[in-house]
């Protein structure tokens, strides 16, 4: 087989791969109703990645497809974002929750190609879980309790297990209360 034949076979292979990926994307797109998609994004006005995603999502999925939670100078959004870190490990922005028909199915940290959203949603639905993309890796969360807490933070925009962020669900709990109790004698001693 000569070099010309190898190049021809290689180009045919790549053409076939391109056609296959286009067809698979079209199939995923056909099975996912874009009108049932909604995006919830925690971001910062000072973040260029956030601003790009804030513009790109509505451009592809419509003006009403995005709910944006600004973190700069917003205590409630900061508390909710900090709470989601406990379940996702996401500390950077943008942090984008993807809901399908009102149910949170994926969370993506950082910028991503929004045209891949139907494939992401289909994969989450097929695996009956929540897909998490963070640190260059993908994870599948199947724990219903954790998914419910993330649903509260992203979709319902409230602290999990409580009402608003200022009710009982938003206070110090668990190890935090132990640190506060341990520091109490030091605080009292300084006041004397």
* DSSP-assigned states of every residue in 69-97: EE-TT-HHHHHHHHHHHHHH---SS-EEE
Q: Would 167 be classed as within a structural domain?
A: yes
Q: Which of 4-8, 117-121, 167-171 has the lowest mean pLDDT?
A: 167-171
Q: In the predicted model, is pLDDT for residue 87 greater than 60? A: yes
Does 9 reside within a domain?
no
With cut-offs at 50, 70 and 90, classify the pLDDT of residue 184.
very low
Q: Using CA atoms, how far apart are residues 25 and 118, in angstroms rounded to an integer?
A: 8
Question: What kind and span of H or E run contains 106?
Answer: strand 103-109
Distance CA 156, CA 72 (A): 20
| Section 62-74 average pLDDT | 97
Q: In the prediction, which pLDDT does 162 show?
A: 61
Q: Which domain holds residue 174?
A: 32-187
Range in 73-77, 120-124, 130-134, 172-176 with the lowest mean pLDDT: 172-176
**Rounded distance between C-alpha atoms, residue 93 and residue 77, angstroms:** 13
Specify the pLDDT at position 168.
35
Domain with 93 in it: what CATH number?
Answer: 3.40.30.10
Query: Is 15 within a domain?
Result: no
pLDDT at 7 over 80: no
Mean pLDDT of the 114-131 span = 97
User: Do 93 and 49 meet the contact criterion of CB atoms below 8 Å apart?
Assistant: yes
Contacts of 125 (CB under 8 A, 6+ apart): 100, 105
Burial class of residue 156, CB neighbours in 10 A (0-12, 13-18, 19+): middle
Whether the per-residue pLDDT at 185 is higher than 70: the answer is no
* Domain annotation covers residue 20: no
Joined together, the tokens standing for residue 39 give 């995006």
Give this prediction's pTM. Answer: 0.71
Contacts of 5-14 with CB under 8 Å at 24 or more apart are none
Q: Is residue 159 part of a domain?
A: yes
H or E stretch at 179: helix 175-191
DSSP for 16-58, written as a single string: HHHHHHHHHHHHHHHHS-GGGEEEEEEE-TT-HHHHHHHHHHH
Q: What is the pLDDT of residue 115?
A: 96
Q: What percent of the chain has pLDDT over 70?
A: 68
Tell me: pLDDT of 48 over 60: yes
Per the DSSP assignment, residues forming a β-bridge with 139 are 132
Question: What pLDDT, on a 0 to 100 scale, did the predictor assign at position 3?
Answer: 60
The answer as to whether 17 is a domain residue is: no
- Residue 5 resides in a domain: no
Q: Residue 161's pLDDT is what?
A: 83
% of the chain beyond a pLDDT of 90: 67
* pLDDT for position 83: 97
Letter string b/e over residues 125-154, b meaning 16 or more CB atoms within 10 A of that residue's CB: beeebbbbbbeeeeeebeeeebbebbbbbb
Average of per-residue pLDDT values in the chain: 81
| Number of domains, the chain | 1
pLDDT of residue 70: 98
Q: Taking residues 77-102, what's their average pLDDT?
A: 97
């Amino acid at each position: 087989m000569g070099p010309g034949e190898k190049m021809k076979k290689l180009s045919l292979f790549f053409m076939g791969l391109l056609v296959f990926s286009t067809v698979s994307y079209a199939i995923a797109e056909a099975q996912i109703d874009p009108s049932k998609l909604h995006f919830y994004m925690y971001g910062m006005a000072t973040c260029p990645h956030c601003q790009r995603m804030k513009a790109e999502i509505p451009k592809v999925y419509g003006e009403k497809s995005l709910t944006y939670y600004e973190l700069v100078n917003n205590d409630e959004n900061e508390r909710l974002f900090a709470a989601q870190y406990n379940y996702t490990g996401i500390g950077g922005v943008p942090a984008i929750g993807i809901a399908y028909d009102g149910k949170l199915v994926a969370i993506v940290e950082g910028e991503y190609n929004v045209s891949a959203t139907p494939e992401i949603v289909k994969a989450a639905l097929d695996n009956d879980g929540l897909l998490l993309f963070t640190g260059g890796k993908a994870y599948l969360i199947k724990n219903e309790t954790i998914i419910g807490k993330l649903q509260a933070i992203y979709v319902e925009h409230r602290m999990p297990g409580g009402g608003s962020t200022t009710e009982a669900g938003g206070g110090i709990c668990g190890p935090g209360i132990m640190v506060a109790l341990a520091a109490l004698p030091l605080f009292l001693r300084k006041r004397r």
